[in-house]
Chains A and B, each alone.
Chain A
């Protein structure tokens, strides 16, 4: 159950930081980026360009896509020279 009007904080505020984590925007996608580790040169352009910080990194290397937040905009695939990221239709 969502809060009723009596339970909400005063003045239409959000009373904590970092709440965008709670807003999973992955279901906006119509196309999903698919990552191929073998083609990746770790140039990190996808990491820099991703507007949703949805490129997953481990030890300085790209390891995949965070599908909870990726909206499927395709910027990562567009910017990727070695075509290590390709857009595939969501089913």
Chain B
């Protein structure tokens, strides 16, 4: 297995090269530009067999992906931020038509004010589109997850995005243990589409009008496949681990078993949190981390089982839901934990909007505040902001 020093974007582009999709339709956008640019180079150099469609917008990119997938192709794209927002209506179409498109997403804030740096508001805005979504903590996971995503998406006939934190991962170099091309091809296998518009002897209609009479039944079907997606994601993660030695589950626990004071985070901040937890443990705090890996479907039952009986949970949200109830992870985690026998105290911290730094000390402070809440048996401030100038 070759080992290379790659940026997050290079790692994602390399995964795409090895997957060798039938069609890629994409429009480059910072900080995901290089994924598209590098892949276009692969096409120009003839190292992939992909039909590359250079479109005029992300709306067109996802629309072309939908067409190519309905024709039975293995289809991928890449985008970020405003690009994902512009794809928004077509995301729902790809999911409902059950087209297993895989998107290499790079998390970046949404305008306004305009900003090119990382937060999670872009993919959080697509939570209800019917796409599966994995947050990668670092670029090795992004590379591995994109390869897994092809297999998961094609088994379920449901699209999936894998996201990395903009600049923090996308532009930082890291040692990546790559698989060789044949290992990737053997792992993903041959794609068997459920329909193909190119098979003229088996005509079918894709995307017909569906009114009061059947729309609800079709949506129920979509809900059902999402409800049954988690075991497939787990199974593919397990198979990947058995074959290549890197294991992936629905979420990751770090020093979680005996922890009473727990942090929940997604993306690269989970790495910072692990260091903070080591430091807090040295100071005698019983802290641990639950890292959200699979955001959609949200494995809420498994998370609830794991967090039942914990004393305090502090959630780190790299976006706000604008509901005034805190960030999206907080809102969903509170709902996930509503039914547990021994419900923990919970509080939320909005951090890192528009690329604002978060440091180990910030997270150690979160741990310390968690200890205070644990001692008092109540939360003083349910929603806080980290590294914000008041």
Contact = CB atoms under 8 A, between A and B. Distances in A.
Given A14-B204, A14-B208, A5 B157 contact: no
Given A11-B206, A13-B206, A3 B217 contact: yes
Interface in B180-201: 194-195
Interface stretch (A15-23, A45-53, A55-63, A78-86): A15-23
A8 B218 contact: yes
Contacts of A12: 96-98, 206-208, 210, 218
- The secondary-structure label for the interface of chain B is loop
A8 B194 contact: no
Given A6-B221, A11-B97, 19 more contacts: A2-B213, A5-B217, A5-B224, A10-B195, A11-B96, A11-B98, A11-B194, A11-B195, A12-B98, A12-B206, A12-B207, A12-B208, A12-B210, A13-B97, A13-B204, A14-B205, A16-B203, A16-B204, A17-B203
B243 interface: no
B152 to A, nearest CB: 16
A8 B221 contact: yes
B99 interface: yes
Contacts of B194: 10-11
Nearest to B214: A8
A13 B217 contact: no
Contacts of A89: none
Given A5-B218, A8-B221, A10-B194, A19 B157 contact: no
A10 B217 contact: no
Contacts of A6: 221
Closest A-B pairs by Cβ, 3 of them: A11-B98, A17-B203, A5-B217
B157 A11 contact: yes
Interface residues of B, number: 22
A6 to B, nearest CB: 8
A11 B214 CA distance: 12
A5 B205 contact: no
A16 B201 CA distance: 10
Interface string B205-232: 1111010011011101100100000000
A15 B214 CA distance: 15
B51 to A, nearest CB: 22
B249 to A, nearest CB: 27
Nearest to B208: A14
Given A3-B217, A5-B221, A5-B224, A11 B99 contact: yes
Contacts of A5: 216-218, 220-221, 224
Contacts of B217: 3-5, 8
B157 to A, nearest CB: 6
Contacts of A4: 217
B218 A19 contact: no
Nearest to A3: B217
Contacts of A10: 98, 157, 194-195, 221
Contacts of B98: 10-12
B295 to A, nearest CB: 23
Contacts of B157: 10-11
Nearest to B218: A12
A5 B214 CA distance: 8
Contacts of A8: 214, 217-218, 221
A10 B222 CA distance: 9
B176 to A, nearest CB: 35
Contact of B195 (A2, A3, A13, A17): A13
Nearest to B219: A5
Given A2-B213, A10-B157, A15 B204 contact: yes
Contacts of A3: 217
A4 B195 CA distance: 21
A25 to B, nearest CB: 13
A12 to B, nearest CB: 5
B38 to A, nearest CB: 32
A53 B224 CA distance: 40
28 contacts: A2-B213, A3-B217, A4-B217, A5-B216, A5-B220, A5-B224, A6-B221, A8-B214, A8-B218, A8-B221, A10-B98, A11-B96, A11-B97, A11-B99, A11-B157, A12-B96, A12-B97, A12-B98, A12-B206, A12-B210, A13-B97, A13-B208, A14-B204, A14-B208, A15-B195, A16-B203, A16-B204, A17-B203
